[in-house]
Amino acid sequence: MALKQQRKQEIISEYQTHETDTGSADVQVAMLTEKISKLSAHLKDNKQDYSSQRGLLKMIGKRKRLLTYIQKQSVERYRALITRLGIRG
């Protein structure tokens, strides 16, 4: 489930830390969160799509590793990001 270019630009502009930032951990987590939500909706309709299910688990693992990295760098930044994304309660 690829994201459309316009949506990618919106996510990048919303989560970037400076003018030319397109690949920081914050942006990557935001992109992965968007992809995960789209793929989760797909899997609700297509329960036996096991290859997509595996891809979803890989994306969740990557997002978790990136969040751990952000948490080690700055706890305040980590808390702000998960609050903005609404991924933990």
Domains and CATH numbers, the chain: 23-85 (1.10.287.10)
* Tens-level pLDDT at each residue, the chain (89 residues): 688 999 999 999 999 999 999 999 999 999 999 999 999 999 999 999 999 999 999 999 999 999 999 999 999 999 999 999 999 84
How far, in Å, CA of 26 to CA of 22, rounded?
10
Structure tokens at 86: 């609404």
Of the candidates 38, 81, 32, the one whose C-alpha atom is nearest the C-alpha of residue 61 is 32
How far, in Å, CA of 12 to CA of 7, rounded?
9
